[in-house]
Amino acid sequence: MGSREDLLRQREKARDLTLKIVEALAERERVVAEISRLKSELGVPEFVPDVERELRAAALRRAAELGVDQDLVRRVLTLVLRSSVRAQASTSNPNRVTHMDLMRAAKRMERNGREVVHMEVGEPTLGAPPEVARELSDAALRGYAFYGEAAGLQELRSAIAEDLKERFGVDVKPENVVVTQGGRFGVYLVMASILSVGDEVLVIDPSWPHYKQTAESIGCRPVVHRTSLEGSWTPDPAEMEGLVSDSTRLIVINYPNNPTGSVISEGMMRELVELAERSGAYLLSDEVYMDYSFGEHVTALASGSERVAMLMSFSKSWGMTGYRIGYVVAPKEVAERAARIQGSLLTCVPEFIQMAALRALSDRETPRRYREHMMRGIEVICSHLDRVGARYVRPGGGMYVFPQLPVEDSMGFALRLLERRGVAIAPGQVFGNYQGFVRLSVGDSLEKIEKGMRALAEELSDGRATGPGEFPG
Ligand code: PMP
């Protein structure tokens, strides 16, 4: 039998080992900073998948030799690698201005009484139809204002399943549907239901920043597949497969896309679903812009795969951004977990809001009208872009255009455009470091868009007179 002294000695040893882990991490960070410096000197890309794959394999082999829990090592490894990438990103760009600086500047200007043209947000300013607003208060008066089911009202979930069946011929059951407090929260619920600390999420850039932020906030690591304007923003499933690791649990796609407006073919959708299945991952298909597809919308649900979660929102189709309501369609086990998490955080989406959404669902005319608006707005933007010699891929849907402008620094350009001409746009850096690109939103009125684009053209020609006017690299 061991003595108390033995116990104390072992405790002391465990303490020393823990401190050694911290010291090893500190040493590793110093080495990573040096690697980053060398990479930027030599012009080597920040993230090299082959190097990382070899490192992972070596670490897991070592774990197996030593009899350490492989899953623990895998997760720790993801966290360590995540901090390496972060360290490299911050050393390669130490004086970064973020889009938050831009938003703060816009707010400051409005507070000082200046009119701002808003082409930076994805919000249809046409707003919700009046009968939807009326149903909101009527439903509250009828008593839809108590605690409710976490997954949502049965009648709304059934109506959503029915709607999807009717529109896309897909077999969705009410138990696969979770009504969420907005699409943004839907992304969180899907991620929190599927992922654990140390998992990886494959994201296609340029992308809505919320995917990466949410993955990071729950201790996961976003891994990025970068698409390009030259490649028409089309993803490359073979290249994506090279980024899949033993920690990849989720692949996120978004078509029609924010910010590029690109859409997906049925063949590509099939390939991406198959990639998720082969990788043992789930596919989150964010389809909140489905009603703004200018052709036939391609939904991931058509695959019938048990690995697909689809996200939809009432924000875009019916201009209900302030109502904060959307839904997720997911395999039963994911839907149940998502409902449980939502229940514990929010209890439920207020039932009078759900009733307003139920009313919206039967209105197919508003989404058609709003899509018309988006198409016309995109035409206005494209015709101005053609005149200023910008490069872009003509959107097949959505409510944005993502051109490359003849400017060296799109963040600097966006700041100047806002300060000098009162037009707010989103710089490309926000969507995954697309220097020289900007996202132009068509949510505002056509008159405002026209005005904003004229100001943008003027700012560009002023910039040309005073500075370099060529496309960077
Ligand atoms: N997905 C994408 C791609 C978006 O652009 C947005 C809104 N900007 C959302 C989801 C979420 O919208 P909401 O939270 O208003 O439903």
Structural domains of the chain, count: 3
* Residues 376 and 334 placed together within one structural domain of the fold: no
What is the gyration radius of the CA atoms in the chain, in angstroms? 25
C-alpha to C-alpha distances, 135 to 114, 130, 148, 447, nearest whole angstrom: 35, 9, 18, 31
* Residues 266 and 299 placed together within one structural domain of the fold: yes
Q: Which two tokens stand for residue 454?
A: 């004229």
* Residues 425 and 448 placed together within one structural domain of the fold: yes
C-alpha to C-alpha distances, 115 to 58, 112, 171, 419, 421, nearest whole angstrom: 58, 9, 48, 11, 9
* Residues 311 and 175 placed together within one structural domain of the fold: yes
Task: Report the separation in Å between the CA atom of 198 and the middle of ligand 1, taken as the mean of its atom positions.
Answer: 25
- Cβ burial 443-467 (10 Å sphere, 16+ → b, else e): bbeeebbbbbbebbeebbeebeeee
Is the C-beta atom of 258 inside 6 A of ligand 1? Answer: yes
* Residues 276 and 156 placed together within one structural domain of the fold: yes
Last residue of a domain, one of 94, 110, 144: 94
* Residues 320 and 356 placed together within one structural domain of the fold: yes
15 within some domain: no
Domain holding 233, by residue range, is 130-362
pLDDT at residue number 472: 36
Residue 428 to residue 400: CA distance in whole angstroms: 12
470 within some domain: no
* Residues 340 and 213 placed together within one structural domain of the fold: yes
The residue among 319, 279, 333, 7 whose CA lies nearest residue 132 is: 319
Place of tokens 């795969």: 305
Pairing of strands 117-119, 423-427: parallel
179 within some domain: yes
* Residues 142 and 254 placed together within one structural domain of the fold: yes
CB 435 within 8 A of CB 410: yes
Query: Which of 99, 185, 210 is the pocket-test mutation for ligand 1 (most atoms within 8 Å of CB)?
Result: 210
114 within some domain: yes
2 within some domain: no
302 within some domain: yes
Ligand 1 atom nearest the C-alpha of 286 is 1
CB 81 within 8 A of CB 221: yes
* Residues 180 and 199 placed together within one structural domain of the fold: yes
Is the C-beta atom of 286 inside 6 A of ligand 1? Answer: yes
How would you write the pLDDT of the chain (473 residues) with one tens digit per residue? 899 999 999 999 999 999 999 999 999 999 988 988 888 888 877 777 778 888 888 999 999 999 999 889 988 888 888 777 666 555 445 455 666 777 778 888 889 999 999 898 888 888 999 999 999 999 999 999 999 999 999 999 999 999 999 999 999 999 999 999 999 999 999 999 999 999 999 999 999 999 999 999 999 999 999 999 999 999 999 999 999 999 999 999 999 999 999 999 999 999 999 999 999 999 999 999 999 999 999 999 999 999 999 999 999 999 999 999 999 999 999 999 999 999 999 999 999 999 999 999 999 999 999 999 999 999 999 999 999 989 999 999 999 999 999 998 999 999 999 999 999 999 999 999 899 999 999 988 999 999 999 999 999 988 765 444 343 33
* Residues 115 and 214 placed together within one structural domain of the fold: no
Could you tell me the pTM of the whole model? 0.90
pLDDT at residue number 91: 47
195 within some domain: yes
Query: Does residue 207 come out as left (phi exceeding 0), alpha (psi in the -120 to 50 range) or beta?
Result: beta
Ligand 1 atom nearest the C-alpha of 326 is 16
Task: Report the separation in Å between the CA atom of 472 and the middle of ligand 1, taken as the mean of its atom positions.
Answer: 31
* Residues 384 and 247 placed together within one structural domain of the fold: no
* Residues 243 and 141 placed together within one structural domain of the fold: yes
135 within some domain: yes
